[in-house]
């Protein structure tokens, strides 16, 4: 069964997600940038936070965990590798682990790069990717290396094309400007940039996004394509090398 999915804007440009199984009422929160808006959404819907799934250790993904745990008695799940720098974990997970929650199953993927120890939760039809794969972008590589991040993106790119990518930030319009600076002639990207402009103007989140759309428009996922390597002046470069160049250009953009 596919649980209900709710996107919760937090802070200035973060997202948390709620997953809810109407069958048994079980609810999971993915990332907790701040408690206020998440608790308000839960109360409004009459849902309890039974679980909190943490993707990585950055403050803008965990600062609300303590308060939500105290108010709702949530059980907190996060990466074993990062247990020393996450809020106290009730369950530690690693790549390959499979969780049963909200009437579905979640596979844990290691998607290190932005941080080392960043994990994604992959369920049938949706993946919680936070600051690894983002809408039209990817997280900045702070702790890992470009090849490590590329490897992580490849794992996500291999999921079914209709997977909803539930990422951690509303960075999409800036990402669209950068993507167009590299692929001004990508028709799918031009159309998406217009959709993003309209959504942002209307105050509508641009996440989640379909993996198929990311594959067609996200420059970071397209680093392996000969046409992309040609566009960045690196014909014949390795995939990770081309990715590193695109990431470096975005860092300077
Ligand atoms: Zn982060
Ligand atoms: Fe973040």
Which run of H or E residues covers position 126?
Answer: strand 126-130
Long-range contacts (CB closer than 8 Å, 24 or more residues apart) made by 102-105? 102/3, 102/19, 102/20, 102/21, 102/26, 102/27, 102/28, 103/1, 103/3, 103/21, 103/23, 103/24, 103/26, 104/1, 104/2, 104/3, 104/21
How far, in Å, is the centroid of ligand 2 from the Cα of 54? Answer: 12
Q: At which residue do the structure tokens 């002639």 appear? A: 185
The ligand minimizing its distance to the Cα of 114 is: 1
Q: State how far the Cα of 55 lies from the Cα of 176, in Å rounded to an integer.
A: 24
Ligand lying nearest the CA atom of residue 169: 2
Q: What is the pLDDT of residue 202?
A: 98
Peptide bond connecting 174 to the previous residue in cis, omega within 30 degrees of 0: no
CA dist., res. 43 & res. 20, Å (int): 13
Distance 131 CA to ligand 1 centre (A): 5
| Cα 169 to averaged position of ligand 1 atoms, centre (Å) | 9
How do beta strands 14-20 and 4-10 pair? antiparallel
What distance in angstroms lies between residue 123's CA and the mean position of ligand 2's atoms? Answer: 21
Cα of 181 from ligand 2 centre, angstroms = 24
Q: What is the pLDDT of residue 8?
A: 98
Q: How far does Cα 99 stand from its chain's mean position?
A: 18
167 beta partners: 130
Question: 169 CA distance to ligand 2 centroid (A)?
Answer: 7
CA 15 to ligand 1 centroid distance, Å: 11
Distance CA 105, CA 34 (A): 26
DSSP 133-166: EETTEE---SSS-HHHHHHHHHHHHTS-TT-EEE
Task: Return d(Cα 201, Cα 66) in angstroms, integer.
Answer: 34
Alpha-carbon gap, residue 52 to 245, rounded angstroms: 35
Instruction: Tally the C-alpha atoms within 13 A of residue 59's C-alpha that lie toward its C-beta.
Output: 1
Give dist(CA 239, CA 10) in Å, integer.
Answer: 35
User: Token match 């959404």: residue?
Assistant: 41
Distance of CA 124 from the midpoint of ligand 2 (Å):
24
Ligand at minimal distance from the CA of 56 is 1
Q: Which ligand is nearest to the CA of 117?
A: 1
pLDDT in tens, the chain (253 residues): 789 999 999 999 999 999 999 999 999 999 999 999 999 999 999 999 999 999 999 999 999 999 999 999 999 999 999 999 999 999 999 999 999 999 999 999 999 999 999 999 999 999 999 999 999 999 999 999 999 999 999 999 999 999 999 999 999 999 999 999 999 999 999 999 999 999 999 999 999 999 999 999 999 999 999 999 999 999 999 999 999 999 999 999 9
């Amino acid at each position: 069964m596919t649980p209900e999915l709710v996107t919760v804007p937090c802070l200035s440009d973060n997202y948390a997600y709620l997953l809810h199984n109407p069958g048994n009422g079980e609810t999971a929160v993915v990332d907790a940038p701040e408690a206020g808006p998440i608790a308000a959404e839960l109360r409004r819907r009459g849902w309890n936070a039974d679980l909190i799934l943490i993707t990585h250790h950055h403050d803008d993904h965990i600062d609300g965990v303590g308060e939500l745990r105290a108010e709702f008695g949530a059980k907190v799940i996060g990466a074993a590798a990062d247990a020393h720098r996450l809020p106290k974990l009730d369950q530690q997970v690693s790549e390959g682990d499979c969780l049963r929650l909200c009437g579905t199953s979640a596979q844990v993927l290691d998607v290190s790069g932005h941080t080392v120890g960043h994990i994604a939760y992959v369920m049938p039809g949706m993946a919680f990717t936070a600051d690894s794969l983002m809408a039209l972008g990817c997280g900045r590589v702070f702790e890992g290396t470009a090849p490590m991040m590329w490897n992580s993106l490849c794992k996500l790119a291999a999921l079914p094309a209709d997977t909803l990518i539930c990422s951690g930030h509303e960075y999409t319009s800036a990402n669209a400007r950068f993507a167009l600076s590299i692929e001004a002639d990508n028709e799918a990207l031009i159309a998406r940039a217009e959709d993003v402009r309209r959504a942002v103007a209307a105050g509508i989140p641009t996440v989640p996004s379909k993996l198929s759309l990311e594959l067609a428009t996200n420059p970071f996922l397209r680093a392996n394509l000969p046409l992309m390597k040609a566009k960045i002046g690196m014909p014949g470069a390795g995939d990770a090398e081309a990715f590193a160049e695109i990431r470096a250009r975005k860092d300077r953009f």
